[in-house]
């Protein structure tokens, strides 16, 4: 049997808006993935550490406070610094269109705003997971 895709759904920073993270976590689980949800108030260190400990294939970051240019990039930078290149990073939240190219350049492979169909996230992960 094929190994299930393991996803860490993470809430970086102080933002408490967790509706989207929880909805996506459930949708991924219902799509047959193994999902670990970090809970709130995670630093980049905590997220990367959990990702390593849990041996995940994907990190899904959720942030609605507007601090994504700092906090998403902190995570991708730390992954690079630690030589981890087999984890797919995706993000979602309130992200203006003009920030997306820079986030992609920094290693956030997919960015999903309000109104995204859950299946689009599932399909994106299935297509792009690095293994």
Binding site for other proteins (CB under 8 A): 9, 13-19, 21-23, 25-27, 37-40, 43, 64-67, 69-71, 74, 94, 96-98, 113-115, 117-119
Question: Of the two residues 1 and 124, which places its CB atom closer to other proteins in the complex?
Answer: 124
**Residue (of 131, 125, 122) closest to 27 by Cα position:** 122
Identity of the residue, 69 or 84, whose beta carbon is nearer to other proteins in the bound complex? 69
Judged by DSSP in three states, 58 sits in: strand
Residue closer to other proteins by CB (options 59, 64) is 64
Inter-helix orientation angle 19-30/118-128, to 10° = 60
Neighbours of 114 (CB within 10 A): 10
CB of 57 to other proteins, least distance (A): 19
Nearest distance in Å: CB 99, other proteins: 9
Q: Minimum distance from CB of 4 to other proteins (Å)?
A: 17
User: CA-CA distance, 94 to 69, in Å (whole number)?
Assistant: 11
């Amino acid at each position: 049997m094929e190994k299930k895709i393991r996803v860490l759904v993470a809430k970086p920073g102080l933002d408490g808006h967790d509706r989207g993270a929880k909805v996506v976590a459930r949708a991924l689980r219902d799509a047959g993935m193994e999902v670990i949800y970090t809970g709130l108030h995670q630093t980049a260190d905590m997220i990367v550490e959990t990702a390593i400990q849990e041996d995940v294939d994907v990190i899904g970051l959720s942030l609605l406070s507007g601090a994504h240019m700092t906090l998403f990039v902190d995570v991708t930078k730390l992954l690079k610094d630690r030589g981890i290149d087999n984890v797919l990073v995706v993000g979602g939240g309130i992200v203006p269109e003009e920030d997306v190219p820079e986030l992609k350049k920094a290693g956030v492979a997919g960015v999903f705003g309000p109104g995204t169909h859950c299946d689009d996230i599932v399909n994106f992960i299935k297509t792009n997971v690095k293994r």
